[in-house]
Structure 1
Amino acid sequence: MDRRLLPIKLDNYRPLRDIVFENLREAIISGILKPGERLMEIQLAEEMGVSRTPVREAIRKLELEGFVVMVPRKGAYVAGISVKDITDVFELRASLEALAAGLAAQRITEEETEQMERLLVKTASYFDEEKIDELVEVDIDFHDMVYRASRNQRLVQIIGNLREQLRRFRTTSLSHPGRIKEAWEEHSKMVEAIADRNVSLAQTLAWEHIENAENSMLEAMGIVKEKLQS
């Protein structure tokens, strides 16, 4: 049997089912478990070195979060990403990001601005090697900083509910040729607008950034957005 999943590392403070769930979710987000692939409890349990029970519980939870679909009389499959899923999420995200950027332009501290500048430097350090996993994490950190700087906890919570779906999309979008540097340039402009307390520009740049991310993802999937709207 070809092993794709790493054996589970026990954590005395967390239930095994939670660790198995996170392991499987990460495998789906990273593409190790691919859309449309059937999830065989026995095989997954053997790869992770656990019994079938926590795997079964994890699959049920993944279904609730939209990562898995259950097909009657056939079993569990990794959920595909439909164009409707993408457009729905990016429409919502564009509005939330624009709101967060505008609020951040009013409320950000000098320390937070400096932290965002440091994240830009960190992103640039990964350009040549194109370390997608690391770039995704830094991208998450950058946007988290914008959300926190908005000083709107409800907004942070709503974005948090989309977090894992967004991470799945980020990997595809940032993998598209040229997108990494484009995203860095867009982040740089956003930081400048926020630091200058330019609310309207920060909102516009945030909205355009998310639209560009959506377009990159659709292009990576061979889909032209204009055709969807015609």
Structure 2
Amino acid sequence: MGNDLKVNMNEYLPLRDVVFNTLRQAILKGELAPGERLMEIQLADRLGVSRTPIREAIRKLELEGLVLMIPRKGAEVAKISEKSLRDVLEVRRSLEELAIELACQRMLPDAVDELEQRQEEFKNAVLNGNPMEIAETDEAYHDVIYKGTCNDRLIQMINNLREQMYRYRLEYIKDKDKRQILLLEHDNILEAVKKRKVDEAKEAMREHIDNQEITVSRNIKEHE
């Protein structure tokens, strides 16, 4: 369990919801790893709360499929399954292709400059080698593309998938051998956007998502 796990208090939310959100984020970001046991007493001590909101949070996480209750063992973080990965990435692939098509057509020069800047930040994060920093700069890069679509409904739909995607994004980035390929994929997308070549941009984005699915699927099989 990561040492940086802590409750972010919110005066507008009941404690049970704050604890739920904290544990949910920890699972999605990989701070609580797939297969890791969730011990109520230990979590209560770490978060400085009683066991009751921990227990309630674990029940809700089970309903979301992020936690499994194992007979005679208790709760543990659900492992990433190939089906859940495929389900999320099938939707993401379609939304990302639409987003890059619209961004190619609608992005203003300032937004293209911002995409270039985000790519530089992503490159620096890859050089530093911190998975969380790589994931966050990767997300920031894609956010510029989404914003460039000028389509609020599409941005909303992508944001609804964001947290589920984060788990797979982090899993992909943990594979150090793939980070240079990720950089190249980002460069290809950026160059296509700069030239306003829609077909090239869509193909580059599709390859970007396909490679993520292939790599994470392989990692899942290796850990089974």
Q: Name the TM tier (shorter chain).
A: 0.7 to 0.9
**Structure 1 residue 11: Cα displacement:** 4.4
| TM-score normalised over the length of structure 2 | 0.87
Match of 1:226 in 2: none
Contact preservation (8 Å) 1:8, 1:50:
no
Letter in 2 for 1:216: T
- What is the number of equivalent residue pairs in this alignment? 222
Residue equivalent to 1:56: 55
| Post-superposition CA distance 1:163-202 (Å, at most 9, x none) | 1121111111112132112111111111121222212221
Alignment of 1:3-152 (within 5 A): 4=3, 6-8=5-7, 10-12=9-11, 14-70=13-69, 75-152=74-151
Over 3 Å counting, the alpha-carbon distance change for 1:144 and 1:3 in structure 2 is closer
Which TM-score applies when normalising by structure 1?
A: 0.85
Percent identity, aligned pairs only, is: 44
Structure 2, unaligned runs of 5 or more: none
Could you tell me which runs of 5 or more consecutive residues in structure 1 were left unpaired when the two chains were aligned.
224-230
User: Tell me, what secondary structure is at the counterpart of 1:126?
Assistant: helix
SS at match of 1:80: coil
Q: Tell me, in whole angstroms, the C-alpha distance in 2 between the residues paired with 1:54 and 1:163.
A: 25
Which has the larger share of helix?
A: 2
Q: For the Cα contact (< 8 Å) 2:6–2:22, is it kept in 1?
A: no
Query: Secondary structure at 1:31's aligned position in 2?
Result: coil
C-alpha deviation, 1:218, in angstroms? 2.2
